[in-house]
Amino acid sequence: MSFSASASSGHNNTQELKKILSHYDRWEGVRYKFGGNSRKGIDCSAYMQRVFQDEFAVSLPRSTGEQMKLGSRVAKSQLHTGDLVFFKTSSRQRHVGVYIGEGEFVHASTSMGVTVSSLDNQYWGARYELARRINGSDA
């Protein structure tokens, strides 16, 4: 499964969005827990692992740092549904979510749990670092 190849097709892009949102519907509000990987609590990189494995049969590494090395870099202006978006939340910490279009991304937020946020809100906009497009063969 190649997200970049399907992103040019409106139908497949819509299918990807439906899959991500369907997954989100099942996980919405699950609390954030550093190191967590279940409905009792999950962190951002584990949530990305779940989304990609459950919906696209793509295995991602466990850590945000390792996930940042996958795929190809994408300009913010070129984001497609399914791209991973990364944020620098402190000098040592990174955060990851998956882009769903219209400037929004799904992620496991430390304050809100699994939620949807805007790339342009004051907090995330100031911390946006980069985006990566994952190809099934990269993971």
* Per-residue pLDDT tens digits for 49-107: 999 999 999 999 999 999 999 999 999 999 999 999 999 999 999 999 999 999 999 99
Average pLDDT, the chain: 90
Q: Is the pTM of this model over 0.75?
A: yes
Domain count, the chain: 1
Domain range for 95: 3-133
Residue 79 lies in a domain: yes
76: domain CATH number? 3.90.1720.10
Phi and psi at residue 6, in whole multiples of 5°? -85, -15
Residue 138 lies in a domain: no
- Which residues lie below 8 Å from residue 114, measured CB to CB, with a gap of 6+? 24, 27, 28, 29, 30, 32, 42, 47, 106, 107, 108
Catalytic residues: 44, 95, 107
